[in-house]
Amino acid sequence: MNLILLGPPGAGKGTQARRLQDGHGLIQLSTGDMLRAAVASGSDIGNQVKAIMERGELVSDDVMIAMIKDRIQEADCADGFILDGFPRTTAQAEALDEMLADMGRALDNVVEMRVDDLALVGRITGRYSCAKCGAGYHDDFQKPATEGVCDSCGSTEFSRRKDDNAETVTSRLEAYHAQTAPLLPYYDGKGVLAGVDGMAEIDEVTLQIEAVLGAG
Ligand code: AP5
């Protein structure tokens, strides 16, 4: 199964992708995580994209398409993947169609996660993750069972993303509405788009996505 989770920053794409990957034997491909790893490693690509990400703007299509093209050909993607953060422009969506066609594969579902813009700022500014295993948390909506201890690996080290501040969220939302939202009619026209209520509680959103996948 090849799946795209599509939605604005903070919609819950990463949260849901991590839940779905184990149950369905799929690989989560988060372009944001790949870019942050490139920045942390100090690679040429990382140095090129660091300031762009901190401003909340989109990285160029050429860089993103090359990154995903290499990644989806790796062996662990053979049984399917969940794209989280890609595609974000029409050029990226068209390139993905070509890549999949060349590989004899197709998209099964594109799930739109619908969330009000006002709710996103609070979600993003309250987000943090385990510095060791990457498990995601929120100050109000998704706390670890024991305060200060990661549920998944027991680490007590946590970190917050540099672009998770109120000013950058505004640019990220503008980029979403201007450049990514046009993908909704694009995928609707292909008959693969389904929407879920991303304002619902995290468990309920998972159930709604599972229902879409079950029906697909
Ligand atoms: P990226 O890392 O992809 O960021 P994003 O799209 O802005 O998405 P987020 O990771 O912020 O949100 P999410 O939807 O995953 O929400 P989450 O599950 O964490 O991209 C970062 C940057 O990289 C971009 O700005 C751009 O510069 C660049 N980039 C990446 N891909 C690119 C591409 N293809 N082209 C060009 N540039 C690219 O949830 C958020 C918080 O809310 C969490 O704390 C969570 O616990 C909580 N939460 C989740 N669901 C719920 C719920 N239902 N109710 C209450 N709280 C919830």
Alpha carbons 57 and 173: distance in angstroms, whole number = 10
With a 6 Å cutoff on the Cβ, whether 172 touches ligand 1 is yes
- Average model confidence (pLDDT) for the chain? 95
pLDDT score for 98:
97
| 161 among known catalytic residues | yes
Position 214: which residue type? G
pTM reported for the whole predicted model: 0.94
Tell whether the model's pLDDT for residue 135 goes beyond 90: yes
Position 178: which residue type? A
130 touches 155 (CB < 8 A): yes
pLDDT score for 22:
82
If pLDDT is split at 50, 70 and 90, which confidence band does 216 have? low
pLDDT digits (tens, 9 = 90+) for 177-196: 999 999 999 999 999 999 99
pLDDT digits (tens, 9 = 90+) for 39-67: 999 999 999 999 999 999 999 999 999 99
With a 6 Å cutoff on the Cβ, whether 12 touches ligand 1 is yes
Residues near 184 by beta carbon (within 8 Å), at least 6 away in sequence: 6, 112, 193
Tell whether the model's pLDDT for residue 90 goes beyond 70: yes
Tell whether the model's pLDDT for residue 34 goes beyond 80: yes
Taking CA atoms only, the protein residue closest to ligand 1 atom 56 is 141
Mean pLDDT along residues 1-11: 97
Mean pLDDT along residues 155-166: 94
Kind and range of the H or E run holding 204: helix 202-215
% of the chain exceeding 70 in pLDDT: 99
5 touches 107 (CB < 8 A): no
The pair of three-digit structure tokens given for residue 178, joined into one six-digit string:
């201007």
35 touches 49 (CB < 8 A): yes
| 172 among known catalytic residues | yes
| 127 among known catalytic residues | yes
Tell whether the model's pLDDT for residue 23 goes beyond 90: no
Mean pLDDT along residues 58-87: 96
Alpha carbons 172 and 164: distance in angstroms, whole number = 10
With a 6 Å cutoff on the Cβ, whether 195 touches ligand 1 is no
Cis ω before 144 (30° cut-off from 0): no
Mean pLDDT along residues 141-162: 96
